[in-house]
Amino acid sequence: MDIFNKLKTLCNSCVLHLQWIPSHANLKYNDIADSLAKEGITMPQAYVEPLTYLELYSRRKAFGNISWRHPPAYSLYRSEGPGATIHFKEDRKDQTALTRLTSSHLKNPQILLW
């Protein structure tokens, strides 16, 4: 009852109700889970050395390189569907001209005035 009185003094205007709920009483497979947990405690644990900063950095860098080189397989990245980009196999000069034309980054805007 000492705990109950301490909780009651924390909040004088509150109504305090305590209820005990048994958590492991008559639950299906609870005994099996308890015995497996006790058995697992007795097993030897594998020692894993902590990773250094350089090891963590190199693993993260390798993961970044893999994900960057293999883009997602979404239809947006495959240029499918409405609003997809236009692909054509022309020389670099024509591709640059088309890109500048579509993005309004022309070196000489007078080209468009006929």
Nearest-CA neighbor of 101 among 90, 112, 92? 112
- pLDDT confidence bin for 100, thresholds 50/70/90: confident
- pLDDT confidence bin for 114, thresholds 50/70/90: very low
Contact 30, 24 (CB under 8 A): yes
In the chain, where the domains are located: 1-42
What pLDDT sits at residue 55? 93
Q: What is the DSSP string of 57-83?
A: HHHHHHHHHHHHHS----TTTTT-STT
**11 contact partners, CB below 8 Å, separation of at least 6:** none
pLDDT single digits (tens) 30-79 = 888 888 889 988 888 887 888 899 999 999 988 887 776 776 666 555 55
